[in-house]
Amino acid sequence: AQTVTQSQPEMSVQEAETVTLSCTYDTSESDYYLFWYKQPPSRQMILVIRQEAYKQQNATENRFSVNFQKAAKSFSLKISDSQLGDAAMYFCAYRTYNTDKLIFGTGTRLQVFP
């Protein structure tokens, strides 16, 4: 069965610093998509960044970037120059090419301190 593991229930970072959130997944598929979603206190889920498995280049969206290691089945999220508004739950998610099912990890709660 495909699973997504986020081993850090909570993380904290100081404003303007960099933090990395970990995500590993288990799959026998070779083609799939990976996503990071943010859920702030409002509980509105927002897509942060996404990656296609066949692309070797790591995705980047402004201050957010990923370190995608396909062989290790690892998909970590790096947040640079952290801001107070980055405080939220972050969920890693996985989907294969031929399915509509998103499989979510259990989330990492990120706190940002001034």
Partner 1 sequence: DGGITQSPKYLFRKEGQNVTLSCEQNLNHDAMYWYRQDPGQGLRLIYYSQIVNDFQKGDIAEGYSVSREKKESFPLTVTSAQKNPTAFYLCATQPGGSGYNEQFFGPGTRLTVL
Residues in contact with partner 1 by CB under 8 A are 4, 9, 33, 35, 37, 42-47, 50, 52, 91, 95, 97-102, 104-107
Which is nearer to partner 1, 19 or 105 (by Cβ)?
Answer: 105
Three-class secondary structure of residue 108 per DSSP: strand
Which is nearer to partner 1, 26 or 81 (by Cβ)?
Answer: 26
Q: Is 54 left (phi over 0), alpha (psi -120 to 50) or beta?
A: alpha
Q: What is the CA radius of gyration of the chain?
A: 14
Which is nearer to partner 1, 4 or 110 (by Cβ)?
Answer: 4
Which is nearer to partner 1, 77 or 105 (by Cβ)?
Answer: 105
CA atoms of 60 and 49, how far apart (whole Å): 7
Least CB distance from residue 59 to partner 1, whole Å? Answer: 11
Least CB distance from residue 47 to partner 1, whole Å? Answer: 5
* Token digits of residue 81: 């120059």
C-beta of residue 37 within 8 angstroms of C-beta of residue 44 = no
Least CB distance from residue 46 to partner 1, whole Å? Answer: 8
